[in-house]
Amino acid sequence: MTNPRRAPTSPDVPTIGGFSVLPVNFALIGPAGLPEPIVAKLDAATNEALTNPQVRARFADATVWPLGGTP
């Protein structure tokens, strides 16, 4: 595992200590000038979805730990 912490799905697989880890980022992207109310609604819905245990479990199955955030 190149993640700095062990994966819950593979707790016996050690991490590689001392190496830099390049994060992988996923993002929702809209067109320039997207109205602020739409940006806010998408942001709220995304962050709410990321608190859902079923959604988090699906990400964990892929050894991805979503953080959420702000627009």
Q: How many CB atoms are located within 10 Å of the residue 36 CB?
A: 8
The pTM (predicted TM-score) of the whole model is 0.63
- pLDDT of 10-69, one tens digit each? 778 777 765 555 567 778 899 999 999 999 999 999 999 999 999 999 988 877 878 888
Instruction: Give the pair of three-digit tokens for residue 46.
Output: 């995304």
Q: 30, 42 in Cβ contact below 8 A?
A: yes
Q: 11, 3 in Cβ contact below 8 A?
A: no
